[in-house]
A = this chain, B = another copy of it.
């Protein structure tokens, strides 16, 4: 057989890349003791910090901040009222001081009250124009080139690839297909409730200011079960929010593959783990050795971070 082109050209030829390829070959090679038919080849990926960056704040929070600023002229009262005052003045500390209640208020003001189709348009416009404050890139250009290659490689091997993120399901769906090759029906995320209405004779779904489901930590296996209905054999994450998804995928189950992206590259991306407020990686890192999860060291394992522009 002729040597195939390298399917993961942005990965250095270190242990992580070798482990990924060895696993993919073992479950897809006919006659291998670990061979699995295509319908068992379910792979789930966290989004924030695993497929794209998440610093200095989750990009969906940047979206919410931009929405608050855009809506502020219609809400003069926000100038004097937290958490909106803090958002408008760039005082994130004041916002975060309000805890979950503040975040819920921001979500309600920026993510609810419109139809699902209007929200998709708002997200699409933002993702195609908003730029990251320090890199100057569009946010959607801050996806990880090596992970794009991994997604494509697994799909070429007959895997069905899913996003399983703590982020909003409807925030990700409008751009997941063009960005990651993952269609809307393969995106699992947190959600708010929606309500059916006939408006002027046309059916719409209206987004309500009420949390429906949080797809994080223990919620990830629940979300996977609800949307996919079977267990993954491959899961990739980067934080303690992914711990239960990694356990659900790998503990006591062979063949399976667990992977953690470690943010070790302060020059090309960011370096953070146990003490970070965003994407904290602590308990999952402790468990990785015991569970046999593959640690991807961004600085050492990846030749490039973002796609060429």
Contact = CB atoms under 8 A, between A and B. Distances in A.
Nearest to A187: B229
How many copies of this chain?
A: 2
A107 interface: no
A20 interface: no
A251 interface: yes
A262 interface: no
Interface in A193-207: 194-196, 198, 201-203, 205
A112 interface: no
Contacts of A225: 116, 194, 205
A183 B162 CA distance: 15
Contacts of A195: 218, 222
A201 B251 CA distance: 8
A12 interface: no
A135 B201 CA distance: 43
Question: In the complex, which of the residues A221, A247, A252 has the most CB atoms of chain B within 10 Å of its own CB atom?
Answer: A221
A227 B229 contact: no
A235 to B, nearest CB: 12
Contact of A191 (B187, B201, B226, B228): B226
Interface residues of A, number: 36
Contacts of A226: 169, 191, 194
A228 B196 contact: no
A234 to B, nearest CB: 15
Nearest to A247: B203
A25 interface: no
A244 interface: yes
Contacts of A222: 194-196, 205
